[in-house]
Amino acid sequence: MRRPLSAVALLLVLGVVARADVVAAGVLVVGLVALWFVLRHRGRRRVWLTAVGVVTGVTLVAVIAALAVPVFRAGHDPLLVAADQATQSQDLSHRHGTFELNGYVISDNNDAAAAVDQQAPNLSSVSATGALVNPNGTFEYMSAQNALVHAHFGGARAQLVVQNYDPNLGQSGDFSPALAGAALASPASRQAFVDDIAAVVTRDRWDGVVIDFELLNRPDQPGLLDLLSRLRTALPSGSRLTVALPVPQADNPTSLGYDLAAVARVVDVVQLMTYDQSDPTSSPGPIGSLTWIEDAVTSALSFVPADKLQIGAASYGYAWGPSATRIGQSFSPAQGRAAAAAAHVTPSWDAVGNGWTAHLPDGTVLWWSDTRSIANVVDLALRSHLEGAAVWELSTAEPLGSIAAKIPLDRVSVSNWLARGMQSVQGRGLVALTFDDGPDPAWTPQILGILKANGVPGTFFDVGMNAEANPALVQQEIAQGNVVANHTYSHLDLTALPLWRAKLEIGADNWVLQGITGREPTLFRSPYGALEFTDSQSATHQNLASSLGMQPVGWDVDPLDWARPGVQEIVRAAASSSAVDQVILLHDGGGDRSQTVAAIPYIIAQMHARGYVFVTPDQLDASIVAPYQPAATTFWGNARNMVLIATYKLWRSAHEVTTWALVVIGLLSLLRLLVSFPLAVVHRRRSRKTVRRSPGTDEGHTVTVLIPAHNEQATIATTMAALARVRGPLVQVIVAENGSTDVTAATARDEAARHPHIAWDIRECGPVGKAGALNACLSDVVGDVVVLLDADTVLDPDFVTAVLPHFDAPGVGAVAGNVKVGNRHLLLGRLQAFEYISSLALDRRAQAQLGVVSVVPGAAGAFRRDALVRVGGWPSRTLTEDADLTVELLAAGWKIPYESGAISWTEAPATVRELLQQRRRWSYGTTQVTELHRHRMMLRSSGRLGLIGLPWLTLSQVILPALGPVVDLFLVWLVLNGDWAIAASMLALAIAIDAAVATWALRSDGESLRFLLLLPAARFLWRPLMLFAVAGGLRSWILGRAVGWNQATRHNTAAIGASSETSLSESRAANTLRPREALTTARAGG
């Protein structure tokens, strides 16, 4: 093998990438083959063929990878119910009774489902909250399907409660007249509201609707009747329509402002809310006394038929006084008894108030209603031949079986239509362990091991970025029987993001998880619980997850394990809740989770000991059909899934390849700096010890200055005039005019006439190009040293005396000079001057120390004439003949040092357009050079040139500039991803390195440190310009497009540095300038 080092390096890279991601390795192979083909077969058509081949190749790799992804959890687990909570009545079957016993449940209470499971077998129907009014009057469905399904499982009908409740009103929420007014404002708004309700009832199979609009403004009250009428018409056949109304004043039945008779004619049930006779805003008293309820019934029966009237029964209490906050202004009967017992007070039954009361020693007064109170209200309803009674609220109510057993309970047959079925499990309750912020390679495997050892399922809300970094852990989570869920891609607060970005966060995480597991998650938890628990979220983010087909999952127990409070505290907080159904929040990522790992076995043991069964959230909530979207059953569905998985695999592989590219770029850039900077320092120290020859001592060397000129009428005179100041043995100056269309030649002759002491030779070579003109003059060169000078460049007076000592060594074929920008008065010129000093000169110093100077600049370089002749002069096959010639000299065995004291001042492009053209030409030409000499690359037989010089040239002038945009795009990605600190740190580090190198370079070259003020502009303006120019040059080279010279407009603004100014008379006295008449003698002797 000709290049064993290259082969070994390539195989090593492929092996490392394949170890991280086999798909990425496959994509990398496709990319490398395509790159090889493009480099060997350039041209637009071949580039298109290569692009087609790349697309085909990576698609094939991605499809194969997608086919290898296993499918998990294709079935649906049944909804689970703890058997201990299903209190069985004597008869759960269909009963044709005459009394409707209804129970209300607040759907978002932690124990709502458990309460329904316990009470539904003894109820006719369950009314579940879950529908509200938006500020614009539209219908908002919060989803109470869990209560609906559990009600049907218990044999009770389910009714959806629609309220004008505002959770953001007051300290803890209240009913809002404004919300109801918005819904009732016009016939159009009422109809739209009704249509939305009817659609939900039909879709989710509710058995009826309860309209609970409270605190209505009088102008809005007539609209309620119209809304009820429209709803009666819109609801499916058989649906019950109930309206809940407050209790009217006993002495004024019309005080509500409603036409009760008209309302009663429209609805199936008018429900009087005969509770809250006394509340925390009033004086202490009963929740609902029998006399007060009797008066309300008597008043209502004047307008409402008895068979349509229900009355309310309370199962809660209120506290007034100093301990009200501690006890809770609203509490359950059990809590009331506990509070009284704690104060060593025996509660007393108040027959008139139909409730229990207790007066605590600190003056706190308690009133509550319980099962005894409800039984009395039910008895009153039966004696009055009413339609029924409604209990508020099931989560606080005690078992109602004793009441149901004594009444003619009406129970209409309902079917359990849930597709995945329901199943009772023996246990006190159900608990789901959930883990956020993973997967983490340190903690997730330990947690998985604990769960597996205990036979307990977990639900892992994975962050997309972490899942991308640890795909094997995600697959292990699934394979072990756990559930994988969505926790956004980068764990940002969604409420602080624009809506489009919030959607992208959720969608990207699902895409990642589906790409890894083959299943699309439906469970979602927002970072910090921002969407599940924050009431102040932006209206645009309301129901964001559900609008994307996701099911938000909150938590009931948060032991704050992320704060590392200690293992015992985590266990205590996690296992102390008495709720029947629990979702416990823990973390397997985002920091040190050693305490969490240590606590999990104890949490499992304690919950098992208390009789809890471990499940996943989808088994707790009927509104969650399954933890993953259903498997595709059609061709197009399978095709869609295949595309999603394949595109993720491509994204993942691209991410891996890009990551490795960034690593390689970083390592190569660091290596270049670590190598070049010390070498440049050593070179500078050694060059200080070099003794320069004094003017007038030529040591046998003679110098010919060769100036190629094409359309240089603006600058040629200045360039020639500056030669009069140059010290050293100049024997000849040749101006090689090549095909100018202006008066360059005439201007050169005029200037030559002003300096008759110099041996001028003005040649008109014709349109043969720069290399052709130089080669045409080479045979007539007199000096043994040839100084090549661009026609827009002026030599420093000491240039010749600086380079000649190097030619005393017979192996030196050329000397690279120090080119500086002479037109620095504008920002663009200063930026170019800064680059020449800090970057180009640094590279040449380091290369010179290794003996591999890659370019002797055409603006100012010195060559041994014999060396030029031996390599055939200047090559004309590239746009950068100076770089091509340098490589040929090195390949021929000549040494090329760099002399920082050999200074020339060049005129840099004055406009951005001309600058881009120049740098595009340099990029194109350098690429040509590396391609022409690729056969020498990494060959031991090519010596330093093949092992160091050409790789350095390729790396610094082709590869790193070409890959520069990857680094910049990565920084942009970090910023878009919210990683400002990392992006800022990387940028600050890069600028700091730039500043350190630039400071040394400026001091070494005797330049002003004021150039350091240009660092920000160099990073944010200059760098993008250069990357753009390099990309343009490479693109033209790959497509096989020719790049022209595009000569810049000359402004004759280059000037010799002030430190080098010398009067013309002083220069003439000091130099060994040879007159024109001595030229013949010099030629004959030389």
Q: How far apart are the first and last CA of the chain?
A: 48
Q: pLDDT band for position 533 (50/70/90)?
A: low
Q: pLDDT band for position 632 (50/70/90)?
A: low
Mean pLDDT, rounded, for 267-285? 93
| Higher per-residue pLDDT: 30 or 605 | 605
Extract the tokens encoding 240.
């019950």
| Higher per-residue pLDDT: 697 or 621 | 621
pLDDT tens figures, 338-358: 999 999 999 999 999 999 999
- pTM of the predicted protein model: 0.61
Q: CA-to-CA distance for 671 and 679, rounded, in angstroms? A: 12
- Tell me the one-letter amino acid at 450: I
pLDDT tens figures, 347-404: 999 999 999 999 999 999 999 999 999 999 999 999 999 999 999 999 899 999 999 9
Indicate if the pLDDT at residue 942 is higher than 90. no
Mean pLDDT, rounded, for 405-431? 79
Q: pLDDT band for position 431 (50/70/90)?
A: very high
Decide if 297 contacts 352 (C-beta within 8 A). Answer: no
Closest CA relative to residue 880, chosen from 802, 791, 827, 953: 953
| Higher per-residue pLDDT: 48 or 1045 | 48
Q: pLDDT band for position 38 (50/70/90)?
A: confident
Q: Which residue has the tokens 């690429």?
A: 927
Give buried/exposed letters for 80-108 (b at 16+ CB in 10 A, else e).
bbbebbbeebeeeeebeeebbbbbbbbbb
pLDDT, position 808: 93
pLDDT, position 843: 82
pLDDT tens figures, 485-497: 999 988 888 888 8
pLDDT, position 1070: 38
Q: Chain-centre distance of CA 492, in angstroms?
A: 9
Q: Across-strand partners of 904?
A: 795, 819
Q: pLDDT band for position 3 (50/70/90)?
A: low
pLDDT, position 664: 77
Mean pLDDT, rounded, for 472-492? 91
What's the helix, strand, coil split of the chain in %, to 5? Answer: 50, 15, 35
pLDDT, position 1083: 36
What structural domains does the chain harbor?
4-71+637-670 (no CATH), 96-316+385-404 (3.20.20.80), 317-368 (no CATH), 427-630 (3.20.20.370), 671-1070 (3.90.550.10)
Q: CA-to-CA distance for 801 and 820, rounded, in angstroms? A: 18
Mean pLDDT, rounded, for 709-728? 92
Q: Residue 633 to residues 74, 421, 629, 638, 776: CA-CA distances in angstroms?
A: 11, 21, 12, 7, 78
pLDDT, position 342: 93
pLDDT, position 541: 58
pLDDT, position 535: 40
Indicate if the pLDDT at residue 543 is higher than 80. no
| Higher per-residue pLDDT: 932 or 1071 | 932
Q: CA-to-CA distance for 854 and 847, rounded, in angstroms? A: 7
Percent of the chain at pLDDT > 90 equals 46
Mean pLDDT, rounded, for 951-972? 81
Pairing of strands 760-764, 523-524: unpaired
Q: pLDDT band for position 16 (50/70/90)?
A: low
Q: CA-to-CA distance for 195 and 730, rounded, in angstroms? A: 99
pLDDT, position 155: 87
Residue 794: its H or E element: strand 793-795
| Higher per-residue pLDDT: 935 or 18 | 935
Q: pLDDT band for position 800 (50/70/90)?
A: very high
Share the mean pLDDT of the chain.
Answer: 84
Cα dihedral: 177, 178, 181, 185 (round 10): 170
Extract the tokens encoding 612.
């809890």
Q: pLDDT band for position 680 (50/70/90)?
A: confident
Phi, psi of 732 (to 5 degrees): -165, 140
Mean pLDDT, rounded, for 261-279? 93
Residues tagged active-site: 436, 587
Q: pLDDT band for position 416 (50/70/90)?
A: low
Q: pLDDT band for position 699 (50/70/90)?
A: low
| Higher per-residue pLDDT: 533 or 685 | 685
Q: What is the DSSP string of 1001-1057?
A: HHHHTT--GGGGGGHHHIIIIIHHHHHHHHHHHHHHHHHT------PPPP-------
Q: pLDDT band for position 454 (50/70/90)?
A: very high
Q: CA-to-CA distance for 414 and 205, rounded, in angstroms? A: 11
pLDDT, position 35: 73
Decide if 583 contacts 556 (C-beta within 8 A). Answer: yes
Closest CA relative to residue 849, chosen from 944, 929, 939: 944
pLDDT, position 635: 63
pLDDT, position 368: 96
In the chain, how long is the greatest CA-to-CA distance? 143
Decide if 397 contacts 336 (C-beta within 8 A). Answer: no
Q: CA-to-CA distance for 710 and 1030, rounded, in angstroms? A: 25
Q: CA-to-CA distance for 163 and 130, rounded, in angstroms? A: 8
pLDDT, position 257: 63
Residues 6+ apart with CB under 8 A from 981: none
Q: Which residue has the tokens 């000849």?
A: 732
- Among the residue ranges 70-74, 605-609, 671-675, 1027-1031, the one predicted with the least confidence is 70-74
Q: What angle do CA 88, 92, 93 make, to 5 degrees?
A: 165
Q: Using only C-alpha atoms, what is the Rg of the chain?
A: 44
Q: What angle do CA 201, 206, 210 make, to 5 degrees?
A: 85
Q: pLDDT band for position 10 (50/70/90)?
A: low
Strand ranges (E), 83-154: 100-105, 125-133, 139-141
Closest CA relative to residue 919, chosen from 904, 910, 909, 928: 909
Indicate if the pLDDT at residue 1071 is higher than 90. no
> Taking phi first (over 0 means left), then psi (-120 to 50 degrees means alpha), and beta for anything else, what does residue 1059 get?
alpha
pLDDT tens figures, 195-241: 999 999 998 889 999 999 998 888 888 899 999 999 999 999 989 99
Highest mean pLDDT among 75-79, 254-258, 924-928: 924-928
Residue 587: its H or E element: strand 581-587
Helix, strand, or coil (residue 315): coil
Neighbours of 134 (CB within 10 A): 14
Indicate if the pLDDT at residue 879 is higher than 50. yes
Closest CA relative to residue 507, chosen from 492, 498, 520: 520
